Amino acid sequence: MTSLAGQLLVAMPQMGDPRFARSVIYLCTHSGDAGAMGLVINKVLGALTLADLFSQLEIESRASAKKRPVHFGGPVEPGRGFVLHTADYREEATLPVTGNIAITATLDIMRAIGKGEGPRHSLFALGYAGWAPGQLDAEIQANGWLSVAADETIVFDADHDGKWQRALGKLGIDLSLLSSDAGHA
């Protein structure tokens, strides 16, 4: 399978794992040898905000940065933070995913966001979703996930509840027609 890095993974309605039910994941890496890594972009961690994290990390911040939610990036390493952002911000530790989206996991980007000097758009997540080599490909073949081209509107939009339906809509899918059974020839 070709790399799906930079794509959105959309959970099928029958997703059995409640952590991923109705999830939309931005896939940051995907290779046959190393597996895959992505961030859930449509689930937030309750009332936790960037203000809470800035306070814990003793980072000065502007009021506008403080109100933003913290996302549930996935169940792997839930204490580790990641910033998914537009590629207009770059530092040595930044991993470009596509021409317009990158990921950085440093305190420097947090400080830049706090000062209002960070990327044009960003999303902060704790934890990530990870797959061993071949695991994601098998889940896609078993009808667990659909992939769709990512766009900044879906990735960074504040309407987290609507992202799943909008991602499926990009494929022209009518939810009432989706089956929970995988077809086999």
- In the chain, where are the structural domains located? 7-177
pLDDT band at 150 (very low <50, low <70, confident <90, very high): very high
The answer as to CATH 1.10.3720.10 being correct for domain 7-177 is no
pLDDT score at 84:
98
Tell me the pTM.
Answer: 0.91
Helix intervals (H) in the chain: 50-57, 63-66, 107-115, 135-141, 152-156, 163-170
- 47 has a pLDDT exceeding 90: no
Mean pLDDT on 147-172 = 93
Task: Provide the CA 150 distance to its chain's centre, in angstroms.
Answer: 10
pLDDT in tens, 76-109: 999 999 999 999 999 999 999 998 999 999 999 9
Q: What confidence score (pLDDT) does residue 184 get?
A: 47
Q: Residue 8: CB partners within 8 Å, gap ≥ 6?
A: 24, 25, 26, 27, 41, 147, 148, 149, 150, 154, 155, 167
- Residue with token string 């046959």: 32
How confident is the model over 116-133, as a mean pLDDT? 96
Q: What is the crossing angle of helices 107-115 and 50-57, to 10°?
A: 120
Distance of CA 34 to the CA centre of its chain: 18
